[in-house]
Amino acid sequence: MTLFESFHPTLQEVLLSGLGWSDLRPVQEETCRAVADGADVVVLAPTAGGKTESAFIPAIDALLKSGSRGLGIIYISPLKALINDQEDRIRMMCERAGLMVASQHGDVAARDRWKFSGEGDLPNILLTTPESLEVLLGDPDSRPAFSAVRFVIIDEIHAFMETDRGVHLRCLLDRIEFSKNRVQRIGLSATVGNPAELLGWMSGPARKQRLIHIPSEKKPKQFTFVVEEDFSLQVRAVASAVRGKKALVFVDSRSFAERLMGPLAELVPNVHIHHSSVSADDRAVAEAAFDQSGGTCVICTSTMELGIDIGDLDLVVQYGPPKTVASFLQRLGRTGRRGRPATMTFVLERPCDLLISAAAIESAMLHEAEPLHAPAHAYHVMVQQLFLLLKSRYGSLSRKTIFSALHSLSPFAAVPLEKISELLEYLADSDYLSRDGDLFSAGPRAERELGKSNWLALISVIHDAGGFLAVLPDGTVVGTLDPRFVGSEPGKTFSFTGKSWRLLFRDDVHKRALVEPAAHPGDAKRPFWSGSGSGRAGDASPTVCRAVCRILERGATILPLPNDQKEMLSDLIRMLPDDFGPGIVHVRAEPEVAGWSVVIATFLGARANMVLARLLKNRLDGGGRHTLRYDQFAIRIFDWEGADAAEKVAKILLEISEADLSALAAELPELPDTTWKFGSMLPKEMIAEMTADEYYRLPEVVAGISSVRVSDGH
């Protein structure tokens, strides 16, 4: 009997008549066998590789064979838009098999939401986000509905692992374990550098685990590079590439997407824009535009990297060099379907951008991608879970009960009891908790700050950036604007989503900006957002930086570039020392008009070099007189006297590599507690620990400078 023939007859009929399948793809077959064996599974497969069906087929089969009623499958997505995109596809499979599907998230109107409390039938499959699942699990009346859950499917799981939402998600997975069944976890992921760690993070200890990794088929790929310093020529290059085609143009930031929208729309028709500050309706219009015949171009940020289905594309344009191998692969995977080559055009400003782009491609060819690291000290999420626990129990909890509950959640299982006690004492001293002997309950300050919205702030760990919702007088949402950009002057005109608007009124109480179309835009301003980059080369990942180092060591890229671009890279490489090598920090002194400068070539990335620059400045003789500059590849120290500068700096670097991490952390500026949601409820020591480990990533930085070589630059 084949695997297909072993499926429940109803599922066989759905696959045959609904999908036209009489057999499975390799990724689906491997996943079905692993799930049937009781394992938690992470599936890594290329875009459009059948990952979604590979998760649902064995789960549906198990529900049909067991005849179990009630909620059996929970599908969790990082994006509401991804749920909306996948819903019809999932419904087709499930409802033809006689299973009911419910979608529950912020875009679903209250009248259309399924009632999980009280009498009545329950859906068999729930499509949701972590935040909406939190609402349901936090409701004592809804919690019994989860007693029959057998499977949790997490789409785009790689998008969760390094984030606060990922910590929240892991807590939710542990809290669902009150089901009478062992709940199997199935994660669907793009390429990552450490898939085994991703699986272990999702699954947890003492559980059967299987990694399903189906490499991409070797398909032809076409890369074109345009290097132009002038912005207007860059826009013309984009227009030439996308004209008459279905294309995505990926840029680095919302601000730059808005900058590109106007001039590009003047050169080619049917241009749309897609980023996180555009309204949901306008994003949906951009996604649907690809259904039309003829050319369609969507300028987008990473919002279009995840698996929203927009059909077959002719081309992807990467504006500026890719920052990570993972995002490059995600973006490239948008093209090259149905036997056509994957096609990407890079529009770049400088030869260095060409070098970085070549490095990202070479890393992908070697199957290298960035490893993911889960936050190790997410104390702010622990605070969230503590107050959710208190809220759900309607009263006081003993210290022992709190210890047990928090240690049952994987992200906090290793937190020492002493540290949890310190947190409880701090929260009690700060009036966030009330203490009665050994019992703790929500204190007056928590009631005041969290209870004012009926504790709704607890359902999410997403930090509200304080954006203003731009709305028309009739209530139509235009998008979200940065408060600093909104300002306070009514009558200001600005361009947004390719249109001109006039600010009528700023409502600080409700965080609304009332706007109207501007008939005569005049000097329309372009919006900006806090944390939104320039759209140019930013911080290439350490993985990409190491690949750059390999190209420099080799003296050329292995890519078949046109002669003029080969010469461009050769000119760049000739300007650099010839003794680079991966894994070694090179330090050399260079003569200046007055004195010397020292160049420290680390190839560790901009964040690591920022940390090293701060630590170096603290240790330099007369550190105040030295000027330090850094980028993703190197640190340069100016204003040295004496040709022995390189030896002195190398010695300082080695001292840093041997120093105590806590002592180094004390030298670095602390991030404000408002960096994290619920961060203001934490003691200073925990903020310092989170800053050092999660923002500065000190252990990685110190490990990166363990080998230092002094070079004379010849």
Position 230 scores a pLDDT of 98
DSSP helix, strand, coil percent of the chain (3-state; round to 5): 45, 20, 40
Please provide residue 77's backbone torsions phi and psi, each rounded to the nearest 5 degrees.
-125, 150
**pLDDT beyond 70 at 416:** yes
Rounded Cα distance, 72 and 147, in Å: 9
Token pair in block for residue 151: 């499977």
Total Cβ atoms within 10 A of residue 521? 15
Nearest to 433 by CA among 391, 400, 405: 391
Averaged pLDDT for residues 233-256: 97
Dihedral sign computed on CA atoms, order 15, 19, 23, 28: negative
Average pLDDT over residues 397-412: 96
Confirm if 693 and 376 have CB atoms less than 8 A apart: yes
Structure tokens at 484: 């600093």
- The residue ranges of every structural domain in the chain are 3-213, 221-365, 379-459, 468-517, 577-711
pLDDT at 48: 66
**pLDDT for residue 380 is more than 80:** yes
pLDDT tens, 683-707?
999 999 999 988 999 988 998 888 7
Residue 470 pLDDT > 90, yes or no? yes
Strand ranges (DSSP E) for 402-483? 433-436, 439-442, 468-471, 477-481
Residue whose structure tokens are 């928090």: 406
Q: Is the pLDDT of residue 418 over 80?
A: yes
Is 535 a residue whose pLDDT tops 60? no
Task: Say which DSSP state 113 is in.
Answer: S
Rounded CA separation 677/450 (Å): 12
Which token pair is 175? 């809290």
Q: Does domain 379-459 have CATH number 2.60.120.10?
A: no
pLDDT tens digits, one per residue of 160-190: 999 999 999 999 999 998 777 889 999 999 8
The reply to whether 221-365 and 379-459 are identical in fold is no
Are 181 and 70 in contact by the 8 Å Cβ rule? The answer is no
Q: Tokens in use for 585?
A: 């920090």
Query: Which range among 165-174, 336-345, 400-409 shows the weakest confidence by mean pLDDT?
Result: 336-345
- Confidence at residue 187, expressed as pLDDT on a 0 to 100 scale: 98
Give tens-digit pLDDT for 563-584: 999 999 999 988 876 666 667 8
Q: Using CA atoms, how far apart are residues 225 and 356, in angstroms rounded to an integer?
A: 12
What's at 46, amino acid-wise? P
More confident call, 233 vs 49: 233
What pLDDT was estimated at residue 613? 94
Region of residue 130 (phi > 0: left; psi between -120 and 50: alpha; otherwise: beta)? alpha
Share of residues in the chain with pLDDT > 90 (%): 66
Coil, helix or strand at residue 344 = strand
Position with higher pLDDT, 593 vs 282? 282
Please tell me the predicted confidence (pLDDT) of residue 394: 65
pLDDT digits (tens, 9 = 90+) for 649-669: 999 999 999 999 999 999 999
Classified as helix, coil or strand, 158 is helix
Q: Tell me, what's the pLDDT at 522?
A: 65
State how far the alpha carbon of 173 is from the alpha carbons of 74, 164, 204, 481, 534, in Å: 10, 14, 10, 34, 38
**φ, ψ (nearest 5 deg) of residue 403:** -55, -50
Q: Which two tokens stand for residue 436?
A: 């009665």
What DSSP letter does each residue of 577-603 carry, written as one string? -S---TT-EEEEEEE-SSSEEEEEE--
Rounded CA separation 665/688 (Å)? 8
User: For 86-107, how does the pLDDT look when each residue is reduced to its tens digit (9 = 90+)?
Assistant: 898 899 999 999 999 999 887 7
* Contact indicator for 514, 490 with CB cutoff of 8 Å: no
Q: What are the structure tokens assigned to 398, written together?
A: 């003993």
The third-level CATH classification (topology) of the domain covering 3-213 is Rossmann fold (3.40.50)
Angle at 401 (CA atoms; ends 399, 402), nearest 5 degrees: 65
Taking 70 as the threshold, does the pLDDT of residue 599 lie above it? yes
Q: How far apart are CA 62 and CA 51, in angstroms?
A: 18
Q: What is the mean pLDDT of the chain?
A: 90
Average pLDDT, stretch 323-335?
Answer: 93
Angle among Cα 148, 149, 155 to the nearest 5 degrees reads 170
221-365: CATH class: alpha beta
Classify residue 88 as exposed, middle or buried by CB count within 10 Å of its CB (0-12, 13-18, 19+): exposed
pLDDT at 714: 41
pLDDT digits (tens, 9 = 90+) for 219-236: 899 999 999 999 999 999
Q: What is the arithmetic mean of pLDDT over 268-273?
A: 96
pLDDT at residue 69 greater than cutoff 90:
no
